[in-house]
Amino acid sequence: MTGKNYKYYDLVMAAFVTVLITANIIGPAKISQIDLPLIGTLTFGAGVLFFPISYIFGDILTEVYGYAASRRVIWAGFAGLAFASMMAWVIVALPPAPFWENQEVYEIAFGSAWRVALAGLIAFWIGEFTNSFVMSKMKIWTQGRFLWARTMSSTVAGEGVDSLLFYPLAFYNSGIIPNEKLPLVIFAQFIAKTSIEFLFTPITYKIVAFLKSKEKIDHYDHQTNFNPFRIS
């Protein structure tokens, strides 16, 4: 982005950060279980239904505005998620009033252990940058064609890294998930997240086409510095 003001960039950024924070703060507190035909019983963290949407926004940002613009949004999301995690920890730690009887419920909903919160931050940061990097490079290699293949490939890479990092960092030897069950949990979450990306592909196409038309931009990262620590 060359300093030009874009009409919808800030809106996409806000949507990305909102989805990221709510999926990570609200979703993990509930474990759901449903019975599916042919597949059987499926147990999953409720946040898995919405967290992949952040990767969809990441794909849209990189496709339309480029890697550098997506990098700024990833850092904004990282900062927002870090603040939300810190805020939840502080509020849970505050001593409750004697007449307030909901402390235990509040701890269950928002009292994520520091290990889980830190694992989420690390996995998100590396996974999102992996997603954006693959998306950007594949756009150059394919000369802007096969958007569906680029979104799926980048999501497989990003969500794969995210899942492979998060669950061992958060739960290995924790007593919450048996170590021998971790590979199964990782695989199930990975399949669920990438399936959601696949289902959203027609919507992704429409949003990308709309933004390119309205913003008059279709960025290619030929001269981009891919250093994730560079903000500008």
Tens-place pLDDT, residues 84-98: 888 888 888 888 888
Q: Which residues pair with 133 in a beta bridge?
A: none
Q: Which residues contact 107 (CB under 8 A, 6 or more apart)?
A: 92
Walk along the chain (232 residues) and give the pLDDT tens digit of each residue.
545 678 999 999 999 999 888 887 776 666 677 777 776 776 666 777 788 888 899 999 999 999 999 999 999 999 998 998 888 888 888 888 888 888 887 777 776 667 778 888 999 999 999 999 999 999 999 999 999 999 999 999 999 999 899 888 888 887 777 888 888 888 888 888 888 888 999 999 999 999 999 999 999 999 999 999 987 6
* Phi, psi angle pair for 46, to nearest 5°: -60, -30
Confidence at residue 28, expressed as pLDDT on a 0 to 100 scale: 63
Confidence at residue 232, expressed as pLDDT on a 0 to 100 scale: 66
Model pTM above 0.85: yes
CB 158 within 8 A of CB 146: no
What letter represents residue 129's amino acid? Answer: F
Confidence at residue 43, expressed as pLDDT on a 0 to 100 scale: 66
Confidence at residue 41, expressed as pLDDT on a 0 to 100 scale: 72
Q: Which residues contact 96 (CB under 8 A, 6 or more apart)?
A: 102, 103
CB 150 within 8 A of CB 135: yes
Distances in Å between the alpha carbon of 17 and those of 29, 78, 196?
19, 8, 18
Phi-psi category of residue 115: left, alpha or beta, with phi > 0 → left and psi -120 to 50 → alpha: alpha
CB 21 within 8 A of CB 232: no
**Quick one: fold of 9-215?**
Arp2/3 complex 21 kDa subunit ARPC3 (1.10.1760)
Compute the distance between CA of residue 73 and CA of residue 12 in angstroms, rounded to an integer. Answer: 9
Query: Half-sphere exposure of residue 89, counting CA atoms within 13 Å on the CB side?
Result: 13
Query: Domain locations in the chain?
Result: 9-215
Confidence at residue 47, expressed as pLDDT on a 0 to 100 scale: 72
Q: Which two tokens stand for residue 69?
A: 């613009």
What ranges in 26-97 are assigned the alpha helix state H?
A: 52-65, 67-93
